Structure 1
């Protein structure tokens, strides 16, 4: 049974419960297994040795999630090759692939946690009431340590793009 935490996020002003632990900066990033658009497994170790910028959205087919994924796709052009960028949601890979094609997303790798929900549970962002992932951003350094995290307090708000990107650039120096 996963740990449940309240008071972390709201959805349209209503308090929600997230399942999973509160993570600590500097600790080893938790393991996870998600799938890409070809249903192939992707784990935290897939990009070992690279800086990982992991953005998390409730559903790619919503306006704020769409804006967030497009923004990080644009910002990716300014980031060094040592950075791997993922966007993770519970959307089915087929829906993610359709959306990426329509939105022209090429620099961000869309991944789905629909099979095991291991990302949501291990990173403490699975919303119990909605069965969706909370909006969040995580940065993992080349050594596999959690270097930055933001779980957006109100699910319908955008993250602090500048803070996340600055964390990545600081690690890339």
Structure 2
């Protein structure tokens, strides 16, 4: 199954540009208010604070673009920001049989996906992805696909354990 919100990149870029323009206009209005008009008084700080808070919330939600591909024998996760230099993009690919468990955390404004995979060096590795910008349907589809993979892995490990028990003499 493939899941992506890459087609919304232009929307997120537009929102980013709009927020930056609001901040620039707020800074300009603040300086005009302080030096020329002096109508608002101390409330003039809101001209800068509101756009700045909006930008902070936009980026605290995490990376905007999330892509998931479970076709074939591997799981592929990509998570990147609209502005490439702001955060390092995440790009992980591993075989399906390494997936141990996953958890989707839903906070007020933020949604996170935690993936636990098996590794030879330290037993298990935790991978974190931001999925705040996915729709409810996309998150439900992602959950369904990952549940299917973990269920298959549990069945295969149970079958392997039974087969190994049969091979070893008592």
* TM-score normalised by L of structure 1: 0.22
More helix by share: 2
Greater relative contact order, per chain length (Cα 8 Å cut-off, separation 6+) = 1
Q: Which of the two has higher C-alpha Rg?
A: 2
